[in-house]
């Protein structure tokens, strides 16, 4: 991922509704003159943490390596055990330096017969280069990618487990995109090439697993596991899906997560959601940790360094993101 620009935007939003107890499993909504209680599953942060940990235990998940292949088998098997249907979309793509990468997008569907669908996604590969590590000797070292990659997948696996227990009213598709983080290093001789990031989502957007696939909207998770994470309103999300972004942020505030989901613009991030929006035209937002005080291009402190390991993963942040998404999903009609 890289920031193309940080542009000041004047945003006018309606005041979000009042906060309720974040531990509540029930949300009340009115339908006609009758009152219906919507049961919201409780997100299990311990389970999500274990899903993150399991990915990291394979080692760096760099395409064309054994660790990558073994983790792909695990993720497919685990998603298949939860979803109604699952598949692996294998593909070949070319990296910034000409390397041919063997990619695998891993896809699971819930209520596949339901035409009213939403898309949830994250990337599962990890960065081959710690090119923002403070020690130049580490710049060609692959990273664990505990937060940058594994955290989003861990949250979505726990959501998949919950969906398998209590079926939502809508159809849900979960995609783990591959080869997202193989973009050109900032100190590379190949600097300046276009679209070297998000290769798996670029492939899927041009070659969807179902040629007739339609979703009302999409939500991308990226770097959603660090302690005290701040999720600002990413620029392309505002550009392509402002209404959805506001809806998710309002939901987070309503259930008590004001300190995490910030109603401020956070800059434009070239991430998987950009290609889904631009190429496949599904309005998609990005929930991504942005820190305006970070020395690493506004990303979290250990972004693209060898310290992006399990030490940075915080169960409370996983819970905040997971519970927000579960609330959005089960409140859908």
Please tell us whether the domain made up of 26-331 is placed in CATH 3.30.70.141.
no
What pairing do the DSSP bridges indicate for beta strands 218-222 and 117-123?
parallel
This prediction has a pTM of 0.89
Q: Averaged over 37-66, what is the pLDDT?
A: 97
Position 13 pLDDT exceeds 80? no
Q: Averaged over 309-325, what is the pLDDT?
A: 98
For the ranges 1-15, 100-114, 153-167, the lowest mean pLDDT is seen at 1-15
- Residue 120: C-alpha distances to residues 106, 179, 188, 219 (Å): 12, 17, 32, 5
105 band by pLDDT with thresholds 50, 70 and 90: very high
| Full 3-state SS string of 312-331 | HECHHHHHHHHHHHHHHHHH
Predicted local confidence at residue 186, as pLDDT = 82
12 band by pLDDT with thresholds 50, 70 and 90: very low
Q: Chain-centre distance of CA 247, in angstroms? A: 17
DSSP type of residue 179? S
Q: Averaged over 20-24, what is the pLDDT?
A: 37
Closest CA to 257 of 289, 230, 225: 230
Q: Quick: pLDDT tens for 205-225.
A: 999 999 999 999 999 999 999
Predicted local confidence at residue 6, as pLDDT = 37
Q: Averaged over 132-158, what is the pLDDT?
A: 97
């Amino acid at each position: 991922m890289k920031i193309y620009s940080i542009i000041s935007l004047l945003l006018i939003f309606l005041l979000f509704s009042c906060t309720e107890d974040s531990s509540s499993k029930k949300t009340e909504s009115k339908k006609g003159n009758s009152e219906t209680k919507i049961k919201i599953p409780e997100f299990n942060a311990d389970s999500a943490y274990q899903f993150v940990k399991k990915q990291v235990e394979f080692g760096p998940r760099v395409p064309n390596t054994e660790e990558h292949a073994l983790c792909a088998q695990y993720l497919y098997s685990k998603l298949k055990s939860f979803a109604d249907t699952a598949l692996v979309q294998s593909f070949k793509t070319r990296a910034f330096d000409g390397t041919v990468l063997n990619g695998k997008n891993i896809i699971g569907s819930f209520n596949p017969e339901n035409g009213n669908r939403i898309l949830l996604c994250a990337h599962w590969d990890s960065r081959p280069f710690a090119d923002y590590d403070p020690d130049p000797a580490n710049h060609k070292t692959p990273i664990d990618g505990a937060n940058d990659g594994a955290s989003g997948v861990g949250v979505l696996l726990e959501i998949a487990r919950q969906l398998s227990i209590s079926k939502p009213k809508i159809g849900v598709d979960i995609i783990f995109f591959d080869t997202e983080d193989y973009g050109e290093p900032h100190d590379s001789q190949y600097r300046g090439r276009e679209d070297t990031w998000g290769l798996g989502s670029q492939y899927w957007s041009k070659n969807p697993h179902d040629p007739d696939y339609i979703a009302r909207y999409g939500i991308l998770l990226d770097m959603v596991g660090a302690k005290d994470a701040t999720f600002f309103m990413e620029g392309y999300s505002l550009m392509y899906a402002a209404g959805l972004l506001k809806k998710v942020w309002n939901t987070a505030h309503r259930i008590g997560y004001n300190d995490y989901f910030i109603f401020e613009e956070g800059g434009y991030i070239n991430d998987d959601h950009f290609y889904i929006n631009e190429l496949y035209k599904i309005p998609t937002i990005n929930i991504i940790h942005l820190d305006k005080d970070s020395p690493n291009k506004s990303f979290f402190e250990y972004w693209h360094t060898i310290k992006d390991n399990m030490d940075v993963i915080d169960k409370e942040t996983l819970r905040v993101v997971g519970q927000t998404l579960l609330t959005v999903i089960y409140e859908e009609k």
